[in-house]
Structure 1
Amino acid sequence: MKKGIGKSHSKIILIGEHSVVYGYPAIAIPLKKIEIECVVEEAKTSFFYNKTDTLSVAVFTALRHLKKENAKIKYKVVSQIPPKRGMGSSAAVSIAAIRAVFDYFEENLDDELLEKLVHTAEIVAHKTPSGLDAKTCLSDKAIKFIKNKGFSYIDLNLDAYLVIADTGIYGNTGEAIQNVKNLGNKADISLKKLGELTDEITKILTKNIESKEEKVDKIGKIMTKANTELGNLNITIEKTDLFVKTAIENGASGAKISGGGLGGCVIALAKNLEIVEKIKDELLKCGAENIWVEKI
């Protein structure tokens, strides 16, 4: 049976969530081990478009571009990326689905067109996507993003490990953004500080002054400071605070909540695999639903 296959990987925000909305930079990291695969196959009936479903929107976007809206196809997805955790599941689904449709019809798909189609699908699904999720899910490198200014690539090359721990609680970006707005001018200090902390990490990553170990120590401390500021913005919850505290107590150079907030994931920076294992063991005891490790 004829089939088309498309894949994508996940992503996580290293620093800059929420402050990025106000014009400050954010840095996102591709998580190449955490993947999603979409398979498109022949069907007996025409494709049914559901505009409330991210996957369906992505498939339709690809079909419309190819002028095959009435194609008789069906699709299925196998995903390692949990939804609503700040890991780019929506963008990754769109990328995998569009790749699968093009593969099924044996059509060429370059990165420029793919990114354009993903952005189109994301607009339908999310109204005003920044493009950061899609860009990072398409990238092998970390990406720095500034609203209305664009993207640039960053080489991490830290020889360290990022531990990503899922709290098992859906993040709620909309409510978190409202929490920040509700603070009014009181939020300005923390937002500015988050922007400054992101700039500090950028300088550490782009200037080869310190050793890799010194870089990891400094970046870790900055991550923990960022978590404090996100707490001041009413973005963290008791479980994420527990995860951050536990990771640091077990050797992490630093840790913070990542993504929209009020749930989702906590990330911790570790110098070596021995520390990684300690962090993993203790976070599982604290109720982590899943844990991934990415070398950075």
Structure 2
Amino acid sequence: MAQQGYGEANGKVILIGEHAVTFGEPAIAIPFTTGRVRALIESLNVNESSYIKSEVYDGELTYAPEHLKSVITRFINEYHIQTPIKVSIDTNLPPSRGLGSSAAMAVAFVRASFDYLNKPLSDEMLIEEANWAERIAHGKPSGIDTQTIVSNKPVWFQNGVVTTLKPLDLNGYMVVIDTGIRGSTKQAVEDVHHLCKADSSYLSYVEHIGKLVHEARDSIEHHNFEQLASVFDLCQENLRTLTVSHEKIEQLLTISKAQGAIAGKLTGGGRGGSMIVLASTIDVAEKIAQSAQSLGAHHTWIEYLGG
């Protein structure tokens, strides 16, 4: 019988604080439980070649993209895996959308690898191993994605320090929308820094986002969904001024509000990527998702924020 190991992980969403966090302001990230990655490792016959089956690559390990090949080869070498293996990765998280897909893949694979070895896995070891894989994908990850995904709780992130917050308990829904436009977080972050360097008055918008993150935390602690909504709209105004919104995001915000959304904003790097919209009821959330898809959104997910 083939040896097997299985692991899974959900994604993450930056609730508020994107871009400002790169200036030392805080940010809040939350688990994205409807977006998932599942990883399965199976032993093969000795005369077969190690193999990866995924949406981004389906073929022998030898010819795999570097970020996949490095992580799996390290596992084989580190733990002296003698037999060839097949690694299957299944996900509904699109890449480069700010939803933590690479961190979720790393966490799922590490969980699968330790399950394959039948070894215990602490959260500390999981974070360490997953961050190694994240460095292959991103160079210098902040750590916020991995920490949020492993803890499966909201986190407060500032200047490299991560603090776990209480689970959300808000009477409302969040619609996550993949605009279908691939954003470049690296370019957007660089542009905002150049903008602020060229004209220091733009720093006031960065600082205002930082204040809004504190207000968002207060909204969460007092279970005030309406206050969080007003914070969202103010944050989006600041992000728009910092040039990281996109006409598709604005178009989707307009149609979402016409369907009854109470607020919305981009999430992550912006200029495409993903956005989050708040709705008071599941009916409104479903209408928002349908209207977004009719406008060309690639994916939509609905999350209840009541825990």
Superposition TM-score, scaled by structure 1 size: 0.91
Q: What residue number does 2:302 align with? A: 293
Q: 1:204 aligns with which of 208, 212, 219?
A: 219
Q: 1:148 maps to what in 2? A: 160
Q: 2:259 matched to 1:250? A: yes
Residue 63 of structure 1 and its aligned partner are, at CA, apart by: 4.0
Tell me how far 1:141 sits from its aligned partner.
1.6
SS in 2 for 1:27: strand
- Could you tell me which amino acid in structure 1 is paired with residue 186 of structure 2? G
CA deviations 1:124-159 (Å, max 9, x no partner) are 322211110111122322111112333232331002
Contact 1:85 1:259 in 2 (8 A): yes
AA aligned opposite 1:53: E
Q: Which consecutive residues of structure 2, in runs of 5 or more, have no partner in the other structure? A: 52-60
Equivalent residue, structure 1, for 2:85? 73
Tell me by how many angstroms 1:205 deviates.
1.6
Q: In 1, distance between residues paired with 2:304 and 2:174?
A: 6
Matched position secondary structure for 1:205: helix
Deviations 1:97-148 (A, max 9, x none): 1111111121221211111111122123222111101111223221111123
String of CA shifts for 1:48-101, please: whole Å, max 9, x gaps: 5779533333334444543x2665222121111000000000000101111111
Instruction: Give the Cα separation in 2 of the matches to 1:64 and 1:225.
Output: 50
Conservation of the 8 A alpha-carbon contact between 1:142 and 1:156: yes
Q: Which residue identity is paired with 1:3?
A: Q
Contact 1:28 1:144 in 2 (8 A): yes
Q: Specify every segment of 5 or more residues in structure 1 that has no aligned partner in the other structure, as ranges.
A: none
8 Å Cα contact 2:39/2:87 also seen in 1: yes
Residue 96 of structure 1 aligns to a residue in which SS? helix
| 2:14 counterpart letter in structure 1 | I
- Output the CA distance in 2 between the equivalents of 1:92 and 1:58: 13
Runs of 4+ residues deviating >4 angstroms: 46-52
CA distance in 2, matches of 1:113, 1:45: 29
Match of 1:6 in 2: 7
1:197 and 1:5 mapped to 2: Cα distance? Answer: 40
**Corresponding residue to 2:67 among 34, 41, 54:** 54
Distance 2:141 2:214 in 1: 23
2:56 corresponding residue in structure 1: none
2:274 aligned to 265, 270, 275, which one?
Answer: 265
Q: Which residue of 1 aligns with 2:129?
A: 117
Correspondent of 2:192 among 180, 188, 196: 180
Choose the corresponding residue for 2:108, options 80, 96, 113: 96
| Equivalent pairs, count | 289
Match of 2:206 among 157, 179, 191: 191
8 Å Cα contact 2:147/2:162 also seen in 1: no
SS at match of 2:142: coil
- Percent identity, aligned pairs only, is 31
CA-based RMSD of the aligned residues comes to 1.9
- Name the CA distance, whole Å, in 2 between partners of 1:232 and 1:166: 22
What is aligned with 1:37?
Answer: 38
Conserved 8 A contact 1:8-1:36: yes
Say if 1:105 and 1:49 are closer, same or farther in 2 by CA, change over 3 A: farther
Q: Is the 8 A contact 2:38 2:108 kept in 1?
A: yes
Cα distance change on mapping 1:2 and 1:258 into 2, 3 Å: same
CA contact (8 A) 1:230 1:236 kept: yes
Match of 1:278 among 278, 287, 307: 287
Counterparts of 1:71 and 1:178 in 2: how far apart (Å)? 45
* Mapped contact 1:30–1:136 kept (Cα < 8 A): yes
Render the CA deviation track for 1:1-24: whole Å, top value 9, x for unaligned.
222111111111110011111111
**Separation in 2 of the partners of 1:51 and 1:133?**
24
CA distance in 1, matches of 2:77, 2:227: 48
User: Contact 1:223/1:254 (CA < 8 Å) preserved in 2?
Assistant: yes
Match for residue 55 of structure 2?
A: none
Instruction: Work out the CA distance in 2 between the residues paired with 1:258 and 1:28.
Output: 10
